[in-house]
Structure 1
Amino acid sequence: MKTFLKTAVAAAALALAGTFAASAEQVKVGFSPEAYPPFYSQDASGKWGGWEVDIAMAICAEAKLDCVLTPIPWDGLIPGLKTKKIDTIMNSMSITDERKKEIDFSDKYYNTPTSIAGAKGQKFDATPEGLKGKVIGVQVSTIHAAYAKKHFGSTAAEIKEYQTQDEANQDLAAGRIDATQADQIALDAFLQSDQGKACCDMKGNVAPDLEVLGPGVGAGVRKGDDELKGKINTAIKAIRTNGKYAEITKKYFTFDVYGDEVQSN
């Protein structure tokens, strides 16, 4: 009898565990394991945090998704999504027509300006004329690389590509390049660091180019995964409405990084 009861209890526990597990869909959230403060940063224990991590987890919680951060190098994110190594990308990936040929996107969840930083003492602005003869560092396979090639490629001495933005920042600080282009907030975080304060300053924002820079940052999903895309879109709207988005944003910024309202994808 005791054996029967133990077996029954064990079976019930397994059934309950299975029911609980089924209540939340596991989703692998792809991100590039590199410091990109204040969006992504790693503490001494190796745990990743930052504004975008908090927003991604808030979206997942609202959508009742069991999300797991899954590190993949930046240029492997889209291939990893397409081959189902990950289920979505939440890593400051801008929505562009070129990327939409390969993957789908959720609605945007933030949109901030694109800027140029350079060495202190060098007087130039963020224009093709201002960057004439300069060596410009950009992160490979980003909208910034595409923009720099399109707008500065004919006047710059070189468009130098790096695997990470941090590598570009380090070369700028060391004087190996003249300028770097990236998201304004990410560049500002570098310029507020001890190293950034010592070497460099902001030269200005680049001219708009919706075709290259896109309407903002969204979550990348596989082509045809309308169910996940729909859940993410609904969750983005919900956290914008219920105050969770603002609550998280106030921890990192003094302004709303969402930008202007845009139509859904």
Structure 2
Amino acid sequence: MKTKIITAIAAMGLAFAASAASAETVRVGVAAEPYPPFTEPDAAGNWTGWEIEFMNAVCAEAKLDCVVTPVAWDGIIPALMSNKIDAIIGSMSITEERMKSIAFSDKYYNTPAVIATSKGSGITPDAAGLEGKILGVQVSTIHQDYMTTHFGDVAAEIKEYQTQDEANQDLAAGRVDAVMADSLALDAFVKSDTCCEIVGAVEDDPAILGAGVGIGLRKGDDELRDKFNTAIAAIRDNGTYAEFSKAYFDFDIYGQ
């Protein structure tokens, strides 16, 4: 009897090991720079934020073993293409330009791009309002492309920053007149610092700003893309997406 029990336990152990071994490990690239409320390390160095919760939910649904892999933002697409990471979950907008190099999952959120200034500046989020102003923006982003295209001819200067936090701090210090970024990222900043305010969304330009945020993938990784797409739809349908999102936002950031 004891032998049968030991044999049964051993068989269960082998089955568990086989199941664990069959889970596909996916190295998920996130920007090494903090980008609250989406991604940022806590005091212990563990990555937290809305996008980390999204990653955990979608990977659990897809039965993928996802490992957070921080990469400098301006090198994150090269890291994907050189197989250093397998996917990007880092608020990366789906644009025609990026799709020349990489593939994307279906979108998982979509929010507008906005302009923030010091309080009472009188600046408006358009070329007329930004004429002669010093503007700040994070490099290698859709917002940099938008600023260069729409405001490059009217701005006194466009300052480029490696991180959004650096741009925000220069706005707070008065070294730039306005910054542009995703509405939720700047909303978190203006709520944490009384210096500044969001003055409005820029006019949409789908060719630059894209059609929402998706998971970045290598071209040809169709099986992984399909797993992510199925999982995104599932967590939207079963309420998981809404459940973890309500701790961060009081509206559905999935958008139109």
Per the normalisation by structure 1, the TM-score is: 0.90
Q: Distance in 1 between matches of 2:121 and 2:174?
A: 11
| Paired AA for residue 110 in structure 2 | N
- How far 1:41 sits from its partner (Å)? 2.2
- The residue that corresponds to 1:154 in the other structure is 153
Query: What TM-score comes out, normalization by structure 2 length?
Result: 0.93
Q: Deviations over 1:69-108 (max 9, x none)?
A: 0010001110000011000000000000000000000000
- Name 2:210's counterpart in structure 1: 214
Amino acid of the residue matched to residue 115 of structure 1?
A: V
* Residue matched to 2:230: 234
The whole-number CA distance in structure 1 between the counterparts of 2:220 and 2:205 is: 28
2:93 aligned partner: 94
1:243 aligns with 2:239: yes
Q: What residue ranges of structure 2 are gaps of 5+ in the alignment?
A: 1-6
Where 2:250 maps in the other structure, the secondary structure is coil
TM-superposed deviation, 1:15: 5.0
What is the CA deviation profile of residues 2-51 of structure 1, one whole-angstrom value per residue up to 9, with x for unaligned ones? Answer: xxxxxx99x97995565133331000000112221111122111111111
Shift of 1:119: 1.3
Q: CA deviation at 1:202?
A: 1.1
Looking at structure 2, the residues matched to 110 and 17 of structure 1 have their Cα atoms a distance apart, in angstroms, of 35
Following TM superposition, where does structure 1 have runs of at least 4 consecutive aligned residues deviating by more than 3 angstroms? 11-18
Q: Which residue of 1 aligns with 2:219?
A: 223
- Secondary structure of 2:140's match? coil
* Fraction of identical pairs, as percent: 61
List runs of 5+ in structure 1 lacking aligned partners: 1-7, 261-265
Alpha-carbon distance in structure 2 between the residues aligned to 1:112 and 1:173: 23
- SS in structure 1 opposite 2:146? helix
Alpha-carbon deviations, 1:107-144, whole Å to 9, x = none? 00000011000112311100001000011111000000
Q: What residue number does 2:191 align with? A: 192
| 1:98-109 map, 5 Å | 98-109=97-108
Amino acid in structure 2 at the alignment position of 1:61:
A
Distance 2:30 2:43 in 1: 19
Computed over aligned residues only, the root mean square deviation of the Cα atoms, in angstroms, reads 1.6
| Counterpart residue number, 2:50 | 51
